[in-house]
Amino acid sequence: MQFDQDVNALPDLYKRAMRSFAGNVSVITVGRGEDRSGLVATSTVSLSVDPAMMLVCVNRGASSWPLFERYRHFGVNSLTPDQQAIAERFSGRGGVKGQDRYALGRWTTAVTGAPLLEDAAVSIDCSIEDMIERETHSILIGRVRAVEIGDPSAALVYWQGSYRPLLAESLSV
């Protein structure tokens, strides 16, 4: 293995490298009523189990960013393969913004008021405890307030620049 030493080439190289990370696809939701938006994210991970805490990295240039500061909550909706169209909506594809991103799917709320997708593989409701700014992004640290577990047989992942289904039945050895 040869390591590239050219610092100027690092961002492009890093971007290509990250394509090989298989990422769980979640829709991160924020806001209430007509004042809601969100984004699709692969940066969502568990911070700790007890206490139950999550984190997600959000670009402060995203159209939904001001809502995280206003509402201090977020919903994590881990998608199933048949929800890819919802992921595409929340990536801003076609210029869809704000509450129009919610035109697909059935949405509800739990404790914080953040929108939660009824048929998601998993939905998690978080209140924001901390926001750590680093360069273009902020790390949102959320305390888990409610959890809903749906269909555990399939997940939607993003790998090598495409959405892919991950099916439990294809994992048997």
> Which residues of this protein are in contact with ligand FMN, per CB under 6 A?
25, 39-43, 57-59, 62-64, 91-92, 158
β partners of residue 108: 116
Structural contact between residues 152 and 143, judged by C-beta atoms closer than 8 angstroms: no
β partners of residue 132: 139
CB of 127 to ligand FMN, least distance (A): 19
Q: Strands, E, within the chain: which ranges?
A: 23-24, 26-32, 35-41, 45-48, 53-59, 73-78, 107-108, 116-117, 122-134, 137-149, 154-159, 162-167
CB of 38 to ligand FMN, least distance (A): 8
For ligand FMN, the closer of residues 63 and 99 by Cβ is: 63
For ligand FMN, the closer of residues 135 and 169 by Cβ is: 135
Which residue, judged by CB position, is nearest to ligand FMN in the bound state? 92
For ligand FMN, the closer of residues 46 and 111 by Cβ is: 46
CB of 43 to ligand FMN, least distance (A): 3
Residues in CB range of 159: below 8 A, 6 or more apart: 19, 20, 21, 22, 23
CB of 82 to ligand FMN, least distance (A): 17
